[in-house]
Structure 1
Amino acid sequence: MIRAPFHRALTRDRRGGVTLILAGSLFMLAGAATVAVDLGSVYLARRQLQGVADAAALAAADGGRSAAVQLIDQSGVNGIALATLDTGSYAADPTVPVEQRFRANDPTGGAMRVELRRRTPLFFGRLLVGRDGIDLSARATAARSDAAAFSLGTGLASLSGGLPNMLLSNLAGTELNLSVMDYNGLVSADLDLLGFADALRARTGRNGEAYGALFDRDIPLADLLGAMADSAGNSAATHTLLALAGRIPGRSVRLSDIIDLGPMRGAANASGQPSVVLDAFSMLRMLLSPPSGTTIPMDLRIAVPGLTSTRLMLVTGEGQARSPLMSITAKRDVVLRTAQTRLYLESTVATALSGIASVRIPLYIELAAAEARLSDIQCGETGGVTLAVTPSVGVAALGDIDMNALTNFSVPASPRATVLAQALGTRVTGYANIALGGTQTHNVHFSPAEIGAQQAKTIGTQDLTQGIAASLAGQTQLQVSLLGLTVSNSPLTPLVGALLGTTAPLLDGIVNSVTATLGVRVGSAEVRVHQRRCGMASIVA
């Protein structure tokens, strides 16, 4: 009878409940604190191990296994062991899974992958898991990035006030007034392509955007020149580029039309990407060139001493090839190209040959794209840089062409015999045609001394022994007719032939000046290596 009321009273009594809850909470808090201490210790140890792994990978890329071991010993972190060290290559290709980008034992080399291990102790957690520590591992991959700055066809003797300046101004749409000093500053200023892209992202407010997406945008030319100035690292070139940026009228350029980034398109930062370097003048010329697959006809009338009149018509484009002027391949090769070019030069020369007041000389030249590929960089005092160069090939003719076909690369210009001179029923006609030869690629090696001296090398098709106009003049077939009848052994034949021979050097000077400005040579290609950089290791994974 007494037990029942006591039981009901006990169930209604709430005193001491907080004490029980607090006791349980303290136990849980102690357990959480215990776990937190150990988790924090493990996290810190893992971060520390990864930092040492990154540093060891960089050291291994520069100095091999011994350098990595030395760095680990000097890191001040105890208990770290070098588990594996693999030599191979790394392909920064976004289409390849990250874990497959490193290829061990690849003969192309240039990359090192290290794996470090360390055991970190547990303090309170050993009561929960029954172990006194946890084994940690960290892996890092570093790749060496060797770079060379080179150019294709920048052998201009002068710019100020001459035809090259006129041609560049026509491409830009305004008078550039580049001096020889400006030109030299641009040629000597090396631009890292991704450094330029980073400067462009900062200027346009697109930080973090993938390089491919950036290059697909239509960007004002002034911003492009400004980004070149920001990344030039050359005060003379920076001043020239900023001046040009404020002078060139508003037009936009899509970089993907002239530069194919290849495997670098999906990257958002320069880490692990190949270092691509070119001189500022080559970059400027590419920006001013017409987009792939388009043509920009230019009709320039030039005053040349020794010639009565000179008319130059120039069409540049890519015809049906539609190849960017610069490409980066999956093998990290860098390729520079020149635009496909058609040139028509019509000149007259005053004369007093048997009543003939002047001789008209029309030249037509059609050039395919020349190409220079950065094929190999050898570091060390006995190394150098090797370029694979394919000279420009095409045709050259002394004769008339179909002017309507000049701007259409899909239609042949069809050179034909032309009237060179006529007077009082006498007519002198002539025709010559030269094929500019083979498509063989030549390996051109530049030693460190040649790179330091900025030595240029010219690779020819070996089909021309002299200038194009001189070669045509020497092969021109002349025919003299009087009142419609062909005259054999006319005294005009050797006289007109001699006039062509003496005029040819003047015409060759015009042709060489124009083609050098465009980076394409007639039957040849001029290349120069501006700089070689070796051993730039960076963490790629």
Structure 2
Amino acid sequence: MDKGQPAKERIGKRFLNSSKGNFAVMTALTLPFAIVLTAFAVDEGSLYTERRHAQAITDIAAIAATSNISKAEAAVAAAFADNGLGQVLVRGPGNTTEPSPNRPVADVVRGRYTPDPSRERSSRFEPGKQPYNAVQVSLSKIGSLYFGGSVMPAPVIGTTAIASTTTEAAFSVGSRLLNLDRGLANALLGALLGGNVNLSIMDYNALASADVSVLSFLDALAIRTGVTAGTYSDLLAAKATVGEIASAMADVPGLDNVSRIALQTLGAQSSASLFVSLNALIDLGSVGKLGIGQRPAGLDIMANVLSMLTASLAIANGEHMVDASLGGTLPGLGGLKLKIAIGEPPQRSPWLAVGEEGKVVRTAQTRVSLVATVSPLATNLGGGIHLLSINLPLHVEVAYAEARLKSIECPTGRPESLKVKVDATPGIAEVYIAEAYGSGFADFTRKLLFRPVAVADVSLNILFVIKLDLLKIKGYAHARMGNTTPVPLTFTHADILSKTAKTATTSDYTQSLTSSLIDDLSLSVEPLGLPIDIGWLLGVVKTPVKLSLGAVTPAVDKLLYNLLSLLGVSLGQADVRVTGATCGRSVLVQ
């Protein structure tokens, strides 16, 4: 000890040289900073956990929205509410509301996701592109700050998720074949097949009620046409004869014996020149990528036997014009001449298809010219006037019917909740009593023109002074049925399992368009070039002519019904069937 130093200096040196209490001093100096850092760490950890929780809920909401794309906003709101965010505001288009501490906001964007590895990951989802198969859900919420809120604003937590699914349905459009007349159906089928047909009513009933698996049918057709390798799309790119199609349906396992024998008979009697482009008949969509013999999971693709046969006939005869003479086929009618032309559906739309929302199937355009000889109910009209003969020249134009797959919904994600909506538009039908002229009968690129046509021949002998052996009574009438407004049809899971057909009918549908025509028939006398006024003759012949034509209306209606049904079309109606559908499985893709 340096006794020469003052006491204060000695105490100061000992204090400075002493290491006792340093930790307490440092703790006192750094503790405020440590507390602040700890607070920030707690807030950061809390925000991280909150962001992960928000992302998980957003993922759930995206999956829920994709399971029910048509009601995506409601599904998103329900998903958030079920997971503790019931106060979320789902913003609509144009809504720019910002999130607040008590009200998160969410945006829902429908679009299409393409899992193409060659694309950048960020460009695989295309907002707004249809048909929709994906939904993007974005959530914005104010994060929670437990300590830092007094010195800084709470950050906005933003999360985004994209989920995608592939929902598909198998559906077809046409006309149900009910109550066919055996004799008439045989005559018409024979004309379309190019051979003689003699099926019984039991045969027709069996064919009309039988269904076959489309893929099993294609398997059998592949064997018959020699295409045993490759995919179903490869097979559908080929052509087959109507006979091969009928025989292949007969080969499908499980078909009843009556239908099998009838199909074998039709296959043997069919003309070898009637070829069908198979992709104009069936479009399997993504199922077409499967190899022949493979099956898609959970998707039933069925077709009615008689409907597929008649659709094949319509496609095959679309390259021909059918002329037929059906004299004596129907009571009340004498000679009956028939001419049929079938156009190609727009954009080569198939009769049966498997696809997503927006998929379309259509029937073919059909043109029918019918000239029937009608026996007059009375020939001697008195006063030297005789009704010699009556003709009914009928021209029918039926535009294509269309069915568009509007939506496939699975609200719970389970098949039992499946609901398929289809917008069906029956083809516009126009019927004339007139003579067609202008472009060729089978030329569907141009409209035909129509003018009055001879409907009756009359002889006139008045007091042996006026003697005219043949006067032409001309007539003209036009009736139109149909509208362009789609008719919504909804198929439940039960409807799909039972293969129920539903009918879309135009608002102006009438059971007998022929009756409407005859009621509106305008008659005139062909000028003779003689200085004689014979306009009064119309007053005498008008009623007998209309009564005679009206008497054969049921027979003509039956003929048109059978003919158009066999061609898969109908006046003012369209029948749609959904035979299979799948909810798909919603999965996160981004």
Give the TM-score taking structure 2 as reference length: 0.60
Deviations 1:82-139 (A, max 9, x none): xxxxxx99989999889999989998589xxxxxxxxxxxxxxxxxxxxxxxxxxxxx
> Would the aligned equivalents of 1:292 and 1:322 in 2 still touch at CA under 8 Å?
no
The equivalent of 1:366 in structure 2 is 397
* Matching residue's letter, 2:209: S
Q: Shift of the alpha carbon at 1:521?
A: 1.0
Q: Distance in 2 between matches of 1:246 and 1:210?
A: 28
Cα gap change, 1:169 to 1:386, in 2 (>3 Å): farther
2:569 to 514, 520, 524: 520
Structure 1 residue aligned with 2:278 = 255
The alpha-carbon distance between structure 1 residues 197 and 89, as it changes in their structure 2 partners (threshold 3 A), is farther
Change (3 A) 1:278 1:93: farther
Picking from 346, 350, 364, the partner of 1:339 is 364
**Pairs within 5 Å for 1:81-96:** none
**2 CA distance for matches of 1:100 and 1:214?**
36
Residue range with higher mean Cα deviation, 250-259 or 92-101: 92-101
Query: Which of 485, 506, 531 is residue 440 of structure 1 equivalent to?
Result: 485
Per the TM alignment, residue 481 of structure 1 is displaced from its structure 2 partner at its CA by 6.1
Contact preservation (8 Å) 1:314, 1:344 = yes
1:292 positional shift? 8.8
Aligned to 1:158: 180
Residue of structure 1 in register with 2:199 after alignment = 178
Whole-angstrom CA distance in 1 between matches of 2:198 and 2:116: 43
Per the alignment, in what secondary structure is the counterpart of residue 176 of structure 2?
coil
* Correspondence 1:451-470 to 2 at 5 A: 457-470=502-515
Q: 1:246 to 1:427 in 2, by over 3 A?
A: closer
Alpha-carbon distance change, 427 to 93 in structure 1, aligned in 2, over 3 angstroms: farther
Residue 301 of structure 1 is matched in structure 2 by 326
Q: Residues of 2 paired with 1:455 and 1:198: CA distance?
A: 25
Could you report, residue by residue, the CA deviation over 1:460-484 in whole angstroms, capped at 9, with x for unpaired residues? 3333434121111111112246855
Give the Å deviation of 1:356.
0.8
CA shift digits 1:8-57 (9 cap, x unpaired): xxxxxxxxxxxxxxxxxxxxxxxxxxxxxxxxxxxxxxxxxxxxxxxxxx
CA deviation digits over 1:147-180, x for unaligned, max 9?
A: 55655202331253x2222222222222233333
Amino acid at match of 2:547: A
**Residue number in structure 2 paired with 1:387:** 422
Is 1:418 aligned to residue 453 of structure 2?
yes
Counterparts in 2 of 1:344-355, with a 5 A limit?
344-351=369-376, 352-354=379-381, 355=386
Deviates more, 1:398-407 or 1:351-360: 398-407
Judge conservation of contact 1:295–1:317 (CA < 8 Å) in 2: no
Question: How far does the alpha carbon of each residue in 1:329-362 deviate from its partner, in whole angstroms, 9 at most, with x for none?
Answer: 7626664422211111111222215211221111
Correspondent of 1:241 among 263, 266, 269: 263
Displacement of 1:415 in angstroms is 1.5
Q: Give a deviation string over 1:402-435, Cα, whole Å, max 9, x none.
A: 3972222234331111122132344422111123
Encode CA deviations 1:234-288: one digit per residue, 9 max, x unaligned. 2334443344334434344431243344555554354658653322222212222
Contact 2:358/2:404, CA 8 A, preserved across alignment: yes
Q: Is the 8 A contact 1:276 1:334 kept in 2?
A: no
| 1:159–1:179 CA contact under 8 A, matched in 2 | no
Larger radius of gyration: 2
SS of equivalent residue, structure 1 residue 407: coil
Where does 1:116-131 land on structure 2 (aligned, <5 Å)?
none
Pair 1:199 & 2:217 matched: no
Structure 2: how far apart are the matches of 1:447 and 1:329?
17
Q: Show the counterpart of 1:167.
A: 188
Question: Which amino acid is 1:491 matched to?
Answer: V
Amino acid at match of 1:254: S
After superposition, the Cα gap between the structure-2 partners of 1:490 and 1:199, relative to the gap in structure 1 and judged at 3 Å, is closer
Q: Distance between the aligned counterparts of 1:231 and 1:345, measured in 2?
A: 37
Rounded Cα–Cα distance in structure 2 between residues aligned with 1:393 and 1:98 = 46
1:507 is paired with a residue whose SS is helix
- Please state whether the residue corresponding to 1:364 is helix, strand or coil: strand
TM-score normalized with structure 1 length: 0.65
Aligned to 2:443: 408
Name the SS for the 2:331 alignment partner.
coil
Looking at structure 2, the residues matched to 466 and 432 of structure 1 have their Cα atoms a distance apart, in angstroms, of 17
Alignment deviations for residues 172-213 of structure 1 (CA, whole Å, 9 cap, x no partner): 222233333333333333333334333333444544413222
Q: SS at the partner of 1:245?
A: helix
2:209 aligns with 188
The answer to whether the 8 A contact 2:172-2:351 is kept is no
Q: Relative to structure 1, is the Cα distance of residues 240 and 510 closer, same or farther in structure 2, using a 3 angstrom cutoff?
A: closer
| Bigger shift: residues 260-269 or 404-413 | 260-269
Match of 2:560 among 511, 531, 534: 511
- Structure 2 vs 1, CA of residues 423 and 222 (structure 1 numbering), >3 Å: closer, same or farther? closer
1:313 has 2:313 as partner:
no
**2:98 equivalent in structure 1:** none
Contact between 2:174 and 2:568, CA under 8 Å: does it hold in 1? yes
Distance in 1 (CA, whole Å) between partners of 2:176 and 2:418 is 24
Does 2:388 correspond to 1:357?
yes
- Give 1:220 deviation, angstroms: 4.8
| CA spacing shift, 1:199–1:440, aligned 2, 3 Å | same
1:283, 1:108 → 2: CA distance?
Answer: 30
Does residue 278 (structure 1) correspond to residue 330 (structure 2)? The answer is no
User: Counterparts of 2:242 and 2:549 in 1: how far apart (Å)?
Assistant: 43
Q: Which amino acid aligns with 2:368?
A: L
Aligned pair in 2 of structure 1 residues 107, 390: CA closer, same or farther (>3 Å)? closer
Letter in 1 for 2:207: L
The answer to whether the 8 Å contact 2:300/2:580 transfers is no
> Aligned Cα RMSD in Å?
4.3
CA distance in structure 2 between the aligned counterparts of 1:98 and 1:230, rounded to whole angstroms: 48
Whether the 8 Å CA contact 1:263–1:328 is kept in 2: the answer is: no
* Structure 2 residue matching 1:440: 3-state secondary structure: coil
- CA drift of 1:519 comes to 1.4
User: Who is 1:487 aligned against?
Assistant: 535
- In the alignment of these two chains, the number of paired residues is 421
Q: Which residue of 1 aligns with 2:313?
A: 288
448-457 or 497-506, which deviates more: 448-457
Secondary structure (helix, strand or coil) at the match of 1:171 reads helix
User: Quick check: 1:477 aligned with 2:477?
Assistant: no
- Is contact 2:170-2:355 (8 Å) kept? no
